[in-house]
Amino acid sequence: MPGSGSPEFRTSNSLLQRFRGELRVIPVEGLPEVREGDDVAALIAAAVAVEPGDVIVVAHKVVSKAEGRVVPLDDVEPSPQARELAAGEDPRRLEVILRESARLVRTRPPLVIAETRHGFVCASAGVDASNAAEPNTVVLLPEDPDASAARLRGRLLELTGAGVAVIVSDSFGRAWRQGTTDVAIGCAGLQPLLDLNGEHDAAGYELHATVIAVADELAGAAELVRGKLNRVPAAVIRGFGLGGEGTARELVMPPERDLFR
């Protein structure tokens, strides 16, 4: 067991120093309905005074809309498989879900749990109808949510001078548990996983296999103030203190480690 003078212990102490203290989760209110081509970073910067070190969590739907990832269902011709999975619901929506799926994980029509091209396992391959600006459209996940987060981060730095982290979030269901929690599907300026392996707890024991998905916990915390209604698609988390570099792809369990494929 190392004493407090060992390098390992100093590392964990300095890690915690940055990591502790009060956290504030602030809803970004007053954003307008977002349309294709809108500058989401400018809308956020106009609505809230961001500070260096802030984590800005943005619901993927505004990002997707700004990036034009909206599909009018009138343009969609459903396949036989989509009709089969629809179970009385709109087969065109199921067709879009199938197109967004790399692999179907479970189906109970009209419910589809799919793996997206990004590797995320979620309901409807992330295809969603709620909050669409107009009926008969569905909203897809961003093509590359990590790139979306990096662009937002760069643009926020340009506009405000503040170096922030950005998380693009979505609401995912979970195996074995009821309800959704928001998780990170895109990430920039932040290590999404806080690895405490080799750190030592207060009793001096090594913590094995303690890797905390902080990006997902930040996304969930933001959801608590965002709500689903009344257009609060973003939140600022102040005081988290851990930055770094990383992407939400790191949150995807590699197939060889995945016991639940």
Residues 236-255 that bind a second copy (CB under 8 A): 240, 250-253
Angstrom distance (rounded) from CA 204 to CA 243: 26
**Cβ distance to a second copy smaller for residue 151 or 192:** 192
x/- letters, 18..47, toward a second copy (CB under 8 A): -xxxxxxxxx-x---x--------------
Instruction: Return the residues of window 110-139 that contact a second copy according to CB under 8 A.
Output: 111, 113, 115, 120-121, 129-135
Instruction: Name every residue whose Cβ is closer than 8 Å to that of residue 251 and which is 6 or more positions away in sequence.
Output: 183, 184, 187, 192, 193, 213, 215, 216
Segment interacting with a second copy, rule: CB under 8 A, options 41-49, 80-88, 143-151, 188-196: 188-196
Given 67, 95, 100, 217, the residue binding a second copy (CB under 8 A) = 217
Query: 2 near 9, Cβ under 8 Å?
Result: yes
Which of 74, 77, 202, 256 binds a second copy (CB under 8 A)? It is 202
The verdict on 5 binding a second copy (CB under 8 A) reads: no
Q: How far is the CB of 163 from a second copy (least distance, A)?
A: 20
Asked if 107 contacts 85 with a C-beta cutoff of 8 angstroms, the reply is yes
Q: Which stretch binds a second copy (CB under 8 A): 37-45, 71-79, 155-163, 180-188?
A: 180-188
- CA geometry: angle 124, 126, 131, nearest 5 deg: 105
Closest CA to 192 of 146, 143, 124: 146
Q: Is 256 in the site for a second copy (CB under 8 A)?
A: no
E strand or H helix at 70, and its extent?
strand 70-72
Instruction: With beta carbons less than 8 A apart as the criterion, state whether 252 and 224 touch.
Output: no
